[in-house]
Structure 1
Amino acid sequence: MYQRKDQLAAFNRLLDIMDDLREKCPWDKKQTLESLRHLTIEETYELADAILDNDLQEIKKELGDVLLHIIFYAKIGSEKKAFDIADVANAISDKLIHRHPHIYGDVKVENEEDVKRNWEHLKLKEGNKSVLEGVPKSLPAVVKASRIQEKVAGVGFDWEEPQQVWEKVQEELSELNEEIKIGNKENTEKEFGDVLFSMINYARFIGVNPENALEKTNKKFINRFQFLEESAKKEGKQLSDMTLIEMDVYWEKSKEFFK
């Protein structure tokens, strides 16, 4: 691993390259805060994929892409005379010091939960009108539900035991089943949302990240289904011409390779 002076030199090199690109490259010169936004979101998802795959080399690559975007935004900010990369770094440093009085002050904490509660109380003192104010509106629904539940738990609005949450899941499932029987589509959708929300809450209590869990299942399903497709193709078969029972033979076989 590099020493701090080498790390700083590498960061300085990237800043110099960004200056060159912004001055000389037609594409880079054209970019704005708005034009980069969707690309940043894409890069963040690619980083998330690499993390789930536990591919350290890919994580390194994707972190570089995300870092480039941070540098890019800061460069545009400096051109607008609004902020530069030093402002960005100093602002987050100041916030971290302020939000960690148990490290940089005289506040005592016993565990992680104390830290979370202090964090949310400090944010309210800083002017936030609600503990939910910092949850981005554009977050994917599963991630948003997780963040909402974490934040309200941080100020004590939470269940005490996992069993209580599981009982709530069962209650919501029962209500969903009733609405399905009645046939009211609007109420069924609402109750289905309640089931998902309660399941996400339960995941928190048992130490499972629901977004990661679902994405891992997505990847597993994709791998198994593509195995099914390839196996059928090798035998000259089309899935559309096969029965479900025939397809299930390959599906069960796929489980030997993709757990």
Structure 2
Amino acid sequence: MAGEKFERLVEIMATLRGENGCDWDKAQTHESLKPYLIEEAYEVLNAIDLKDDEELKEELGDVLLQVVFHSQIAKERGVFNIDDVIDTLNDKLVRRHPHVFGDAQGYSYARWEEIKAKEKGEKKRTSIGDVNHALPGLSLARRVQENAAGVGFDWTKIEDVWNKVHEEIDELKNAKSPEEVEEEVGDLLFAIVNLSRFLNVDPETAIRKATEKFISRFEKMEKLIEMDNKKVEELNLEELDEYWNKVKENR
């Protein structure tokens, strides 16, 4: 049944891109769809954060749509189609899990990276593994740290990580030039990501939640101010802080 539904999805996309299809869909390219793929991925994360299964179901469908959309465009270009995408994924999953589909014993990070290196034709690579520089900054830092930890280069005690965070704060306080400040801010953020990892918190998710919380509180603060027939821009920082604390107290 799932196969038939998937085939129907592929047919719908082909129709939308066809001669009598949708003008917007026909005008899209790999490049024009880039922001939509990113947007849909983040909407999946938001649905997970909200623990909204119905929303998650819909957003996963939107991500799948992007995969089918790009595959249809590639088919029209004569380079590959959705079957090739699935075959490539199936082969890679089997190839990279020899402990499940082969004779290897147990999962091995080193073996995983060795297989990836052979697939990409890399003769030499560092133990830190393949670095995906396209990731957002906090996610990139977490991934690099995880890779380094996978080969044993990691803190052994969380107390040492806390000390590192405080050390970076002190170095930032003592930074003199704008260049030093930027460097030390980066070092502090990197240390915070390390601490997040030890606390089993994804830093990218955490900062998104913190930002959303700030937005929500700010909007509530504005409403309180409007209820008092005042405007945000007319209040000084001390007055704004009083409203802000009211919002925090009533959360």
The Cα shift of 1:116 comes to: 3.8
Residue 38 to residue 133, structure 1, CA distance change in 2 (3 Å): farther
Which residue identity does 2:234 align to in structure 1? D
Deviations 1:185-239 (A, max 9, x none): 1111101110111110121112111111111111111111111000110110112
Q: Is 2:211 aligned against 1:215?
A: no
Q: 1:164-189 deviations in whole A, cap 9, x for unaligned?
A: 2222222222221211xxx3111111
* Residue of structure 2 in register with 1:42 after alignment: 39
CA contact (8 A) 2:196 2:202 kept: yes
Structure 1 residue aligned with 2:232: 239
1:9 Cα offset (Å): 2.2
d(CA) in 2 for partners of 1:134, 1:27: 37
User: 2:145 maps to what in 1?
Assistant: 149
1:19 aligned to which of 11, 14, 17:
14
Q: Distance in 2 between matches of 1:132 and 1:38?
A: 29
CA drift at 1:149: 1.3
CA RMSD, 1 decimal: 2.0
How many pairs align?
Answer: 246
Deviations 1:52-88 (A, max 9, x none): 2222222222211111110011111222221111111
- Cα-to-partner distance string for 1:9-60 (whole Å, 9 max, x where unaligned): 2212111101110102222222211121122122222222222222222222
Change (3 A) 1:36 1:158: same
Structure 2: gaps of 5 or more residues: none
Matched, 1:95 2:92: yes
Counterpart secondary structure, 1:82: coil
Amino acid at match of 1:243: N
2:160 to 158, 164, 177: 164
Q: Which residue of 1 aligns with 2:133?
A: 137
Distance 1:199 1:228 in 2: 29
- Listed as ranges, the gaps of 5+ residues in structure 1 are none
**1:159 Cα offset (Å):** 2.2
Give SS of 2:174's match: helix
Q: What is the aligned counterpart of 2:29 among 29, 32, 41?
A: 32
* Higher mean C-alpha displacement, 116-125 vs 99-108: 116-125
Alpha-carbon distance change, 55 to 131 in structure 1, aligned in 2, over 3 angstroms? farther
- Asked whether 1:187 is paired with 2:184, we answer no
Percent identity over the alignment is 43
Q: Which residue of 1 aligns with 2:170?
A: 174
Separation in 2 of the partners of 1:173 and 1:246?
Answer: 30
Q: How does 1:80-91 map to 2 (within 5 A)?
A: 80-91=77-88
- Aligned-partner SS, 1:36: helix
Cα separation, 2, equivalents of 1:72 and 1:253? 48
